[in-house]
Amino acid sequence: MGLVSLALSLLVADWVLGRLTQDAAYTKAVKQGMAYDTRDRLRVILDNRRADANWFPAVPANTYLETHLKLGSERILPLGGVARARVVGCNEGGFYSSFTTDEAGFHNPSGTWPLKNDRHIFLVGDSFTQGDCVKEGEGIAERLRLRHPEVVNLGVGGNGPLLELAAIREYVPAGKTALVFWLYYEGNDLMDLQRDLRDPVLRRYLDAGFSQNLLPRQGQINERVRNYAEGRIRERSGGQALVFPNLRGALWRVRHGQGLIVADKPQKSDKSEADADQFLKILASAKQEVEAKGGQLVFVLLPEYYRFSGEPLSTWAGHSEELKKRVAGLGVSVIDTEPRLRRHPDPLSLFPFRLKGHYTGEGYALVAEVMSEFLNSKHGRAE
């Protein structure tokens, strides 16, 4: 009887956590008469695999800060996800995003690598840059590519500044680079920097001479990443994640310094000023590297939800005004997308269900519009 009572208690706790974490968006969807996919991501992947085994989760590069992969005896830190695959991202709008990855695991059309154009426009950043949480075709890179086919998206969910510097080092080539957009999300990029600086491989990218030589070894890396993702799917579909998924997710958040429930409130930090100083050093290194490769670095500021909700800003976003001035002081062009989003008749509608999260497709379209105007102006060196 004791085991039965324990199992029932865990089931109730898991159900309660599931309701607490889903209710805000789910309730709004129901009230608006909208469909809402209540499956977890693993179930979505498994359901799609019934027809096509080439479906995977969108594995972020920061996964390998904790789970180390090796090529032979050498630790390798991949910067892309599963290559040549269909991957499933997040669900903020009532549906799971999904997209196809290129030969290096980034969200680009098949055939992107090796690069074919004489001059390219690269985007580095996190999930906002990757184009997560919206339908395929609605991301920033995809919208820019309609007018500028030479766009290459190096954005990956969960990336911080050091991972973005690493992407420039490894995947932005000399002689074929016109411009690199550094898309900075003010809500957590400085927070991610605290995490990245703890990794010995990532810290080595602060040395201008360091490279993992990822692109020449892309085939081997792809095999290791795919094998890792397959193993995780097998492990989780074997029952470990399907049993009490909400409890397991809550325990993961606690282990990583978060709350039991993802709180919809601004995050605070007493290290944000030091983080901003370190970020400027990294951006200066990126500028030097991009210019040495014949390109121009452009800083794009992406505003957080609290800019429009009327709530206090997160600590990191509180540095944005000063950060823009300091970035301009480095000789880097600055694009602030907040004014364009704020001119929208209803800025909160640019976030799914008017809740904290990524932008909607319309929000991404406005960001892409501002960037395209830069490209078409006398300030952009790429046409």
Question: Cβ atoms within 10 A of the Cβ of 176, count?
Answer: 19
Look at the alpha carbons of 136, 139, 145, 150 in this order and tell me if their dihedral is positive or negative: negative
Q: State how far the alpha carbon of 211 is from the alpha carbons of 154, 170, 279, in Å.
A: 17, 7, 20
Torsion angle, alpha carbons of 75, 234, 39, 129, to 10: 20
Q: Using CA atoms, how far apart are residues 264 and 13, in angstroms rounded to an integer?
A: 21
> Which of 132-136, 235-239, 324-328 is least confident?
235-239
Please indicate, yes or no, if residue 365 is contained in any of the structural domains: yes
Which pLDDT score is estimated for 25? 87
User: Residue 85 sits in which domain range?
Assistant: 2-376
Distances (CA, A) of 232 to 2, 59, 65, 225: 32, 10, 16, 11
The average pLDDT across 171-188 equals 95
- Predicted confidence band of residue 235 (pLDDT cuts 50, 70, 90): very high
Q: How many folded domains does the chain comprise?
A: 1
Proportion of the chain above pLDDT 70, given as a percent = 84
Residue 382 lies in a domain: no
Task: Give the CATH number, domain containing residue 368.
Answer: 3.40.50.1110
Predicted confidence band of residue 379 (pLDDT cuts 50, 70, 90): low
For β-strands 86-91 and 96-100, DSSP reports them as antiparallel
The pLDDT value recorded for residue 50 is: 97
Q: What is the pTM of this model?
A: 0.88
Whether 193 is in a domain gets the answer yes
Strands (E), the chain: 55-57, 69-71, 74-76, 86-91, 96-100, 120-124, 151-153, 177-185, 296-302, 333-336
Average pLDDT over residues 357-379: 93
Report yes or no on 300 lying in a domain: yes
In a domain, 50, yes or no: yes
| 251-306 tens-digit pLDDT | 544 443 444 444 456 666 556 777 889 999 999 999 999 999 999 999 999 999 99
